[in-house]
């Protein structure tokens, strides 16, 4: 379908006080569920592949499948590469016409992070592709990030320096959220988020969506978040459904009959997140 760019989509979200939801997929089935949910809710949506998935299936295969779904969708669907620490993988995603690519240099020095983002921006921008960088650190221990130390909080001056020297388009900020399930309630530094938002006029991303209470996601949106990333709960919902069906039937059914209930379960979870992000009826 004819659609506005992801940057226009994020700007609209900023003006109208909601967030564009981003969901990580593992294969074509959860991809399908994410798109179906977005269509039913009339929400824009971001289909996000992590390098673990794009490497395993092949960037071209993933790109072709996601592109076909986006082209046929009745709602705006955007392709995103999530948390690549590898510049070449970002470039490969650009070749597959992703809308956005994320280069994550957050564990490196600020200088090295800047150098990495700059490199990807120089490749992506002439091709009409937008770049997400990260400053501060997202905590957690998943394929997206391994960081469990205390020094995660974004410094406003570092965020400004990264954006000004690289021309990154979108920024992920370390404000206390973590990838994976939380142990206890996440402690989010909303004050720092608001300060970064005040200093920079570009879309900010809340990573580590799974397990953040709805009221905190909404508060983050009020304080400058325009994109909310959700991953772990998608995988968990997918595999729980598969496990439940197999427990009931044994591995004697057609694979499709195993996947349909999983798609339905994921679709419900995605719809719930679309409501949390308030992006329903914003397509
Ligand atoms: P969760 O897996 O914690 O939902 O985080 C997803 C994410 O931030 C992907 O970038």
Binding site membership of 51 for ligand 1 (Cβ less than 6 Å): no
Mean pLDDT score across all residues of the chain: 96
Ligand 1: nearest atom to the Cα of 232:
2
Per-residue pLDDT reduced to its tens digit, 245-279: 999 999 999 999 999 999 999 999 999 999 999 99
Binding site membership of 208 for ligand 1 (Cβ less than 6 Å): yes
Binding site membership of 83 for ligand 1 (Cβ less than 6 Å): yes
What confidence score (pLDDT) does residue 73 get? 97
Binding site membership of 26 for ligand 1 (Cβ less than 6 Å): no
What confidence score (pLDDT) does residue 2 get? 59
What confidence score (pLDDT) does residue 1 get? 60
1 part of a folded domain: no
Per-residue pLDDT reduced to its tens digit, 174-192: 999 999 999 888 999 999 9
Q: Which residue's C-alpha comes closest to atom 5 of ligand 1? A: 208
What confidence score (pLDDT) does residue 170 get? 98
250 Cα to the center of ligand 1, angstroms: 31
CATH number at residue 232: 3.20.20.70
The pLDDT of 89-94, averaged and rounded, is: 98
User: Could you tell me which residues come within 8 angstroms of residue 281 by beta carbon, excluding any fewer than 6 positions away?
Assistant: 41, 42, 43
As a dihedral over the C-alpha atoms of residue 197, residue 199, residue 202, residue 204, rounded to 10 degrees, the angle is: -30
283 part of a folded domain: no
Of 21, 47, 44, 54, the C-alpha closest to 32 is: 47
**Residues designated catalytic:** 82
What confidence score (pLDDT) does residue 5 get? 97
| Total number of domains constituting the chain | 1
The span from the CA of 234 to the CA of 182, in Å, is 15
Q: Are 114 and 158 in contact (CB under 8 A)?
A: no
Ligand 1: nearest atom to the Cα of 207:
8
Residue 143 has pLDDT above 80, yes or no: no
Beta strands in the chain (DSSP E): 20-24, 45-49, 77-84, 100-103, 130-135, 139-141, 146-147, 170-173, 178-179, 204-206, 225-230
SS3 content of the chain, % helix, strand, coil (to 5): 50, 15, 30
Domain that holds residue 83: 6-277
The pLDDT of 102-115, averaged and rounded, is: 97
Q: Which two tokens stand for residue 115?
A: 């150098």
pTM of the model: 0.97
Pocket test for ligand 1, best of 229, 238, 273 (most atoms within 8 A of CB): 229
Tell the burial category of 53 from Cβ atoms under 10 Å away from its Cβ (0-12, 13-18, 19+).
buried
Binding site membership of 229 for ligand 1 (Cβ less than 6 Å): yes
Q: Which residue's C-alpha comes closest to atom 9 of ligand 1? A: 229
Pocket test for ligand 1, best of 230, 236, 239 (most atoms within 8 A of CB): 230
99 part of a folded domain: yes
Of 242, 226, 222, the C-alpha closest to 234 is: 242
The span from the CA of 77 to the CA of 66, in Å, is 9
154 Cα to the center of ligand 1, angstroms: 18
What confidence score (pLDDT) does residue 271 get? 98
Band of pLDDT at residue 129, cut at 50, 70 and 90: very high
Band of pLDDT at residue 43, cut at 50, 70 and 90: very high
Band of pLDDT at residue 84, cut at 50, 70 and 90: very high
Binding site membership of 180 for ligand 1 (Cβ less than 6 Å): yes
Binding site membership of 99 for ligand 1 (Cβ less than 6 Å): no
143 Cα to the center of ligand 1, angstroms: 10
Of 111, 67, 57, 126, the C-alpha closest to 89 is: 57
Question: How far apart, in Å, do the first and last CA atoms of the chain sit?
Answer: 11
């Amino acid at each position: 379908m004819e659609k506005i760019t992801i940057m226009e989509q994020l700007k609209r979200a900023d003006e109208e006080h909601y967030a564009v939801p981003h969901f990580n997929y593992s294969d074509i089935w959860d991809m399908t569920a994410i798109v179906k949910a977005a269509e039913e809710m009339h929400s824009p949506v971001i289909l996000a592949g992590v390098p673990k998935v794009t490497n395993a299936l092949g960037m071209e295969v993933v790109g072709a499948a996601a592109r076909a779904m986006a082209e046929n969708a009745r709602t705006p669907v955007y392709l995103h590469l999530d948390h690549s620490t590898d510049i070449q993988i970002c470039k490969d995603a650009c070749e597959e016409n992703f809308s956005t690519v994320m280069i994550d240099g957050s564990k490196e020095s600020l200088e090295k992070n800047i150098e990495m983002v700059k490199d990807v921006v120089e490749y992506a921008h002439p091709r009409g592709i937008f770049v997400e960088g990260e400053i501060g650190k997202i905590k957690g221990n998943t394929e997206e990030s391994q960081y469990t130390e205390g020094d995660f909080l974004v410094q406003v001056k570092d965020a400004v320096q990264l954006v000004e020297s690289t021309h990154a388009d979108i920024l992920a900020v370390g404000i206390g959220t973590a990838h994976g399930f939380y142990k206890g309630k996440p402690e989010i530094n909303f004050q720092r988020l608001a300060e970064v938002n005040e200093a920079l006029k570009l879309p900010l991303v809340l990573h580590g969506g799974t397990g953040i209470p709805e009221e905190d996601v909404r508060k983050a949106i009020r304080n400058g978040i325009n994109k909310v990333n959700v991953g772990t709960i998608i995988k968990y919902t997918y595999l729980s459904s598969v496990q439940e069906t197999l427990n009931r039937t044994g591995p004697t059914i057609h694979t499709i009959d195993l996947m349909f209930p999983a798609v339905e379960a994921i679709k419900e979870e995605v719809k719930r997140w679309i409501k949390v992000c308030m992006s329903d009826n914003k397509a």
